[in-house]
Amino acid sequence: MPRYRVNLSTMVFLLILLGATVILFCGWYIKLNPLDCTSSNRKIHVVLLSSWRSGSSFVGQVFGQHPSVFYLMEPAWHVWNKLKNSGAQALRMAVRDLIRSVFHCDFSVTDAYLPQRRNVSSLFMWSHSRALCSPPACSLTPRGHLSNQTQCLQTCDTVGLQEVQEACTSYSHVVLKTVRIFELESLYPLFEDPSLDLRIIHLVRDPRAVVRSREQSAKAFVHDNAVVLEQRNVPAAEVQYQVVQEICRSHVRISERALRKPTPFLKGRYKMVRYEDVARNPLAEISAMYDFVDLDMTHQLEEWIYKLTHGKGKGSLKEAFEITSRNAADVSQAWRTTLPHNKVKRIQQVCEGAMALLGYTTVNSDEEQKRLDIDLLAPREPYRFTWLPQKPEHSGKG
């Protein structure tokens, strides 16, 4: 018996020693080679779930430029574009399966949606992905450098899908942005897939600002609106309200699923982010998002984010689809001076529940709307927005 005890404690000691050695080695290895160690152990898969004109291009870029991330902007576009006479409801499983395949770095699924002679330039907005402008996909931008979209478009447009796949497998994180998911349930199988480590970042924005921003490029949304509205026949003047109503409903549906009565596998996998908080305090909010998906902030990214969010002006029409240096906080208030009050009232009606839930205060008069000194953003309540016990954070609005 004593002999057995000695052996057991020796075994335990050896096991602990072995564990410590592995951890030490891995830590040492990560320092030397941040990309390889993590990618061989576990990949992290992120859906940046948002809706149109909610700052998701900007937040997408924040991930797309990160040296550890393989990013794709809106792969679901291919599904909606190919099957444009369907409704969102019918397409959601195809969208889910496309997302799952891309998370597994399997691009064969795109067969169904891409032209016959295809390469990287058949992928929607591919040049927004730094990974597609960097080795092993393309030699233009060394890994760890920021990519220039214009140059990437010119230089890397003939990369084959095989190289895209190889690039994808060489990163520790795969991040996909989409505005085409309106519920979480279709993603449940991905949460339960043991080979995926799925995290959802749900980016929302004040619906009044969303409508104002969508009006600036109304034509671009004709097909998408029809899909969102399930191809229903809706009077032209009503379309924008019904679409924003669907968007608002989805915010409520998703956050209630994730936060109010969550199934266990959602725990720690969902984070809600308000665009306005990002606009007011970009570095802190972006750092928190990086933390949530186990990415490190780099000095280079910090500088880049600062520049991008501290430009001048409200953002012109031409800029509407581009990410440029402008004052992000400014842009998030622009609706208050440009949107007629009767429209604002109508949006507040159709989005009442979502606005209350997300902390967007309603205005009761034209005067109140235009008085920019009245803050319409209620302080966020972190416990409502995320499952993870947050590190002690400065309270109040960032």
Q: Which residues bind ligand NAG (CB under 6 A)?
A: 117, 119, 121, 148, 150-151, 157-158
* Nearer to ligand NAG among residue 19 and residue 160 (C-beta): 160
Least distance (Å) from ligand NAG to the CB of residue 153?
10
Least distance (Å) from ligand NAG to the CB of residue 112?
18
Least distance (Å) from ligand NAG to the CB of residue 115?
8
Tokens of 278: 């990002």
Helices 236-255, 207-215: crossing angle, 10 deg rounding:
140
* Nearer to ligand NAG among residue 123 and residue 363 (C-beta): 123
Name the residue type at position 282.
Answer: P
* Nearer to ligand NAG among residue 145 and residue 249 (C-beta): 145
CA 41, 265, 196 angle in degrees (round to 5)?
30
Least distance (Å) from ligand NAG to the CB of residue 21?
45
* Nearer to ligand NAG among residue 148 and residue 287 (C-beta): 148
Least distance (Å) from ligand NAG to the CB of residue 376?
33
* Nearer to ligand NAG among residue 161 and residue 252 (C-beta): 161
* Nearer to ligand NAG among residue 42 and residue 307 (C-beta): 307
* Nearer to ligand NAG among residue 158 and residue 162 (C-beta): 158
- Taking CB atoms within 8 Å and a gap of at least 24, the contacts of 135-140 are 136/163, 136/166, 136/167, 136/170, 137/163, 137/164, 137/166, 137/167, 138/163
Rounded alpha-carbon distances, angstroms, from residue 182 to 101, 172, 297: 20, 27, 30
CA atoms within 13 A on the CB side of 194: 0
Please state, in angstroms and rounded to a whole number, the distance separating the CA atoms of residues 392 and 284: 13
CA atoms within 13 A on the CB side of 125: 20
Per the CB < 8 A criterion, the answer to whether 63 and 69 are in contact is: yes
* Nearer to ligand NAG among residue 117 and residue 312 (C-beta): 117
Tokens of 82: 């190919």
Helix (H) or strand (E) holding 203, with range, is strand 198-204
Least distance (Å) from ligand NAG to the CB of residue 219?
24
Tokens of 313: 């002006």
Least distance (Å) from ligand NAG to the CB of residue 123?
10
Please state, in angstroms and rounded to a whole number, the distance separating the CA atoms of residues 35 and 58: 24
* Nearer to ligand NAG among residue 148 and residue 327 (C-beta): 148
Pick the closest to residue 398 from 359, 354, 355 (CA basis): 359
Q: By CB neighbour count within 10 A (0-12 exposed, 13-18 middle, 19+ buried), where does 222 fall?
A: exposed
Per DSSP, the residues of 318-357 read: GGGGS--S-BHHHHTTTHHHHS-HHHHHHHHHHTHHHHHH
Least distance (Å) from ligand NAG to the CB of residue 121?
4
Helices 282-292, 299-309: crossing angle, 10 deg rounding:
140
Least distance (Å) from ligand NAG to the CB of residue 144?
16
